[in-house]
Structure 1
Amino acid sequence: MNQMEEKKTQGSMAVLAALLANILVAVSKFVGYMLSGSAAMMNESIHSVVDCSNQILLLFGNRRANRGQSELHQFGEGRAKYFFSTIVATMLFFGGGALGIWEAVEKLFHPSHEVENPLIILAILVFGILVEGSSLRVAIKEIHELNTEKLPLFQFLHESRHSEILIIFTEDFCAVIGLVLAIIGTILTMLTGNPMFDALSGLLIGMMLLFASIFLAREFYSLIIGESVSKADLLKIQTAFNREEVKKVIDIKTVHLGPTEVMIAAKIDIADSYEGVSYDVVNQIERVIRQALPDKKAYIYIETDEFDPNYDQKRQTQSDT
């Protein structure tokens, strides 16, 4: 299996691990809610059901993205992952965050509910942390494998073009934090007999999911309209043009067509003594780029032209109009 195929399977493994974990946790949380009437447990139950739906959507998106090229989609359907990831972020906003906040606020202003069987709740929440924690470890492991540049975690998440890894890590991280908040709310309710703490923990969980969904939506908006390659990959591409046959690199444009698919368009000025073999020069540059990006399927288009000192100004004028 080559590096590009490995990158494609890594995201699916994390999605499957998260789906199995969330099915187990969702069932246990709903049982806990039925036995207790806890607002935090209700919020966590909604969160887990939304997560299960999200993982199914991600798997469907992966399947669509791997369908390959067609007459209608001549560069393939790699961005299908970004589309379904955007739907996931929307579901997390409304199904996880907004609905959870509504439920928590309702019980916060009408604190007549009682939290029953708190020990059962705590046992279920601890079980949830163990299961969600194992799923989070899988996501972190895959992040380490993808993060070949050893970037700080948040910077990697921001710059990564692998939407499914971003979603799974964010969901699992929020799930663990949410379970901790639910445990704190349950313990405080047990100690004080005041169900307000249970409602407050549910409110905090809902707000956390709301902010997480906004963060994801911002990232996926950028991906779905077309992000360029990462700075590290761009440097590798630029290095391929640093050769004596190339007098001037006039322009380079890149865009991700999916997590492991990129399109590269460049315009170069060939040195006078190599104009007769410009096709060979272009082929050599393409070969070097593909070798530098073994984990990417690259569509490369290189045009030879004579450098115009006013090129940048003309390009800016065209973009303004």
Structure 2
Amino acid sequence: MVEKASNQTQKERWALGSLLLNSVLTVLKFVFALITGSLALMAEAIHSLSDLVASVISLISVKLAAKKSSEYPYGLYKLENIASVVISLFLFFAAYEILKEAFFSKEERVIQHTELAIGVMVVAMIATFIYSRLELKAAKRLNSPALMADAQHIWADFLSSLIVIVGLAGTYFGYNLDKYAAAVVALFVFYSGWEIFSSGMKVLLDVSLEKEELEKIKKIIYSHPAVVDIKHIRGRVAGSFKFLDIELLLHNFSLRETHRIVDEIERKIKEEVPNIDSVFIHYEPVRQEGLRIAFLVDENKNIKGFKDAVQIITVDLSENGNIQVNAPLDVEPDEKEIGDILSKINIDIVVASIHPEEFEVRWKLTKAGVMVWETEKETFDEALKEIINSYREFTKKHKGEL
């Protein structure tokens, strides 16, 4: 919460700084456009005015975006994206005004005091270059689409300032490049507006998270031994924040333990993926009836321990007593490897001659909901009979409770 409040404060400071910068540049450009009569400089002034309005919208949206209420329990994060779309419309309008003035105006413009206009544009170019680079870094760090949009506008202002300087320099040396410089500025403005508009609309239409980010989240989830499978995972973006909707298949646990596992997965996702606002996880037990039993054996089907077994035989025992013995799985006689396999193949009980010695293996099996049944029976058939008899006795005794 402290980190989110700090990010919010930084966003507001950058938005306010952009507002002050655009205010100064707008006034300067309008004043010197009137003094010099430069169409390109007037186009720049219109561009800066649109940026000024955009900065006001950015500041307001950043302040409102983090507020939550009973009416808007998920926050007003999308105000940032709405603001970026509105900003893009201002840029389209600015581009239109520039082109109309450049090619459809019947008035002949006489440019005076060209050196003053060039000086103003050099100052504007330096200021916009520095601020846009700094704001862009801050926008990426804070993951703010409104600040990102604002930084792009200011960068477009820098590029258009460079074009205006070239046009004014040409005019100074006797070439009528003013209106052409203004037209190039309009193209920059339009392109910037389109990029911002398309990005903002995607979020407003609940575009999914990037594929790479979803794959990263899947790896985090699958790293937990209690997870059998991911039935579905969806993610969307609102403003700077991301929302996840996940449905998991988990090994059979008590309700309390399952809740702890889900909390652990959620915490890990929020730690490793930035700007996650909420993670909704729906979970289901992978199997609600019957048993799956694993027997650790040697090549002659004699019961072995975790260190000397070379095969795992799985048996599915249904609640009505049907038995299915599956094909054996060859393994290396290694505690950790066998423990890893057993924690991932949806086992309820593993039958062995002795419990695993290493705590890491015991802990992983416990987290995966696997019970270790230490038996004195020597062969697979004897051990299977022991488990079946115990299970039938248990189900008969607790039939009304299951």
Paired amino acid for 2:19: L
Q: Is the 8 A contact 1:36 1:115 kept in 2?
A: yes
Contact 1:101–1:206 (Cα < 8 Å) also in 2: yes
- 1:218 is displaced (CA, Å) by 0.7
- Residue 86 (structure 1) aligned with residue 55 (structure 2): no
- Distance in structure 1 (CA, Å) of the matches to 2:81 and 2:258: 37
Distance 2:80 2:140 in 1: 21
Q: Pick one of 112, 119, 122 that aligns with 2:108.
A: 112
Moved more, 162-171 or 135-144: 135-144
Partner of 2:209: 229
Summarize the Cα distance change of 1:228–1:7 in structure 2 as closer, same or farther, 3 Å threshold: farther
Deviation at 1:34, TM superposition (A): 1.0
Tell me if the contact between 2:58 and 2:150 (Cα under 8 Å) persists in the aligned partners. no
Corresponding residue of 2:24 = 24
- CA offset at residue 296 of structure 1? 3.1
Structure 2 counterparts to residues 172-251 of structure 1, below 5 A: 172-192=154-174, 194-195=175-176, 197-231=177-211, 233-242=213-222, 243-251=224-232
Aligned equivalent of 1:15: 15
**In the alignment, does 2:278 pair up with 1:298?**
yes
Residue in structure 2 matching 1:97, options 95, 98, 105: 95
Cα distance, 1:64 vs structure 2: 1.8
1:259 equivalent in alignment to 2:255: no
Cα deviation for residue 133 of structure 1 reads 2.1
Question: Residues 56 and 144 (structure 1 numbering): CA distance in 2 closer, same or farther, change over 3 Å?
Answer: closer
Provide the TM-score with structure 1 as the length reference: 0.81
Cα 1:301/1:258, change in 2 over 3 Å:
farther
> Could you tell me which amino acid in structure 1 is paired with residue 218 of structure 2?
Q
Match of 1:158 in 2: none
Q: Which runs of 5+ in 2 are unaligned?
A: 288-402
Distance 1:13 1:233 in 2: 29
Paired residues of 2:81 and 2:238 also in contact (CA < 8 A): no
Cα offset, 1:10, TM superposition: 3.7
* Counterpart check, 1:141 vs 2:156: no
Is the 1:236–1:289 contact (alpha carbons within 8 Å) kept by the matching residues of 2? no
Aligned amino acid, residue 26 of structure 1: T
Query: Residue in 2 aligned with 1:53?
Result: 53
- State the one-letter code of the partner of 2:100: W
Equivalent pair of 1:3/1:295 in contact (CA under 8 Å):
no
Higher relative contact order (CA 8 A, sep 6+): 1
SS in 2 for 1:280: helix
**What residue ranges of structure 1 are gaps of 5+ in the alignment?**
147-160, 308-321
CA drift at 1:294: 5.6
One-letter amino acid of the structure 2 residue matched with residue 164 of structure 1: A
What's the CA shift for 1:201?
A: 0.3
Please say if 1:167 is aligned against 2:163. no
Scaled by the length of structure 2, the TM-score of the pair is 0.66
RMSD: 2.2
* 1:123-175 C-alpha deviation (Å, 9 max, x unpaired): 111111122123113214325645xxxxxxxxxxxxxx621132122111111
- Give the structure with the larger strand fraction: 2
Contact 1:104 1:203 (8 Å CA) reproduced: yes
